[in-house]
Amino acid sequence: MGGTQGFCLSGFADEISPDLNVQVSTLDRLGVKGLDLRSVGGVNVLDLSITELQKVHDACAEKGLHVQAIGSPVNKVAFEPLNEAREFDKLRRAIKAAHRVNVKRIRIFTPMVAEGQNEAAGPKVIAWMLAQKKLAQDEGVVLIHENDDRYWGAHPENAKRLMEVIGGNSFRFAYDFANTVLQGYRTMTDWFPWIVPYIDTLHIKDAIQDGHQIVPAGEGEGELLEAFQYLVATGWQGPLTIEPHLAAAGPMGGFSGEALFEVAVTALRKVAGEAGINV
């Protein structure tokens, strides 16, 4: 399907099925040209072999698709000194995976900080992330930090501090609307417009704060329509990556199934169309 210049549609394909063939065929049927690679066959992307990664690359190429990003779990850990070295090693594995499937984007997080320690831990968290950014620069990849709702960078004041210090061509942002809602924040007042210059990718799921409900795009409190209208007006360009979590959501991912993934795609196209975006 066609798209407004600068916007392209991608999706976390393991939300469709663990089976690679089902993932790729469903994306192709729905006109979603990008695949965010998080897991195949229940195996996390960091644990896929070189051969398995090549199979993903080839399966996408056969359908005219491309791998949009590596959906790694890097830094989804507690903020502890021992974890820093472990996550650095995980990032090396993510980079190897990215090179194998010919993609530059790697989704990452910031570590989880104990309650009440956000301010005090800030300099050390930023130093942790800066070391990873330097590795990304050396390896020619781009780290995109997601505001997952349990981690240091999910809070706007922390994310702003982080991006002002190390944001740049090799360290950008994956903005998630639902995670914002689940933290009690709002897109247009707490994040936009300061975050927009740093955004590489939009993660598309919506939520209602009451009851922590995940819902299709435009049906919650994520303010997607207002955000899309703002982005069109300011000339922002980038991927819209579907991560619906409509059947299940967990600490390392979510699941929707084929039917609900199609619901998510349809909902996104509806709200995007209202903002003048054709994807």
CATH classification at residue 135:
3.20.20.150
Q: Classify residue 157: in a domain, yes or no.
A: yes
Least confident of 36-50, 57-71, 101-115, 242-256: 242-256
Q: Angle, nearest 10°, between helix axes 257-274 and 20-30? A: 30
Residue 43 placed within a domain: yes
Residue-wise burial string across 152-170, b where 16 or more C-beta atoms lie within 10 A, e elsewhere: bbbbbebbbbbbebbbeeb
Looking at residue 247, its pLDDT comes to 77
Q: Return the pLDDT at 241.
A: 98
Phi/psi of residue 229, each to 5°? -60, -40
Residues listed for the chain: 279
Residue with more model confidence, 41 or 257: 41
pLDDT of 56 above 90: yes
pLDDT at 149: 81
- What is the average pLDDT across 81-104? 97
Residue 48 lies in a domain: yes
Query: 4 pLDDT exceeds 60?
Result: no
pLDDT in tens, 66-90: 999 999 999 999 999 999 999 999 9
- Is 223 inside a domain boundary? yes
Domain count within the chain:
1
Confidence class of residue 44 from pLDDT cuts 50, 70 and 90? Answer: very high
Residue 61 forms part of a structural domain: yes
| Residue-level pLDDT at 1 | 40
Q: Helices 50-62 and 81-100 meet at what angle, rounded to 10?
A: 50
Domain-embedded: residue 116: yes
The pLDDT of residue 5 is above 80: no
Of 26, 28, 98, the closest CA to residue 68 belongs to 98
Q: How far apart, in whole angstroms, are the C-alpha atoms of residue 46 and residue 93?
A: 6
What pLDDT score does 254 carry? 74
Whether the CB-CB separation of 206 and 222 falls below 8 Å is answered with yes
Domain residues for the domain of 245 are 7-274
The whole-angstrom distance between residue 150's C-alpha and the CA centroid of its chain comes to: 15
For residue 150, give both structure tokens. 């349990």
With contact defined as beta carbons under 8 Å apart, do 202 and 173 qualify?
Answer: no
The two structure tokens encoding residue 84: 């820093």
Report which of 118, 113, 44, 119 is spatially closest to residue 74, judged by C-alpha positions: 44
Q: Is residue 154 part of a domain?
A: yes
Q: How far apart are CA 153 and CA 171, in angstroms?
A: 13
CA 155/CA 179 separation, integer angstroms: 10
For residue 98, the cross-strand partners are none
Taking 50 as the threshold, does the pLDDT of residue 205 lie above it? yes
2 within some domain: no
251 band by pLDDT with thresholds 50, 70 and 90? low
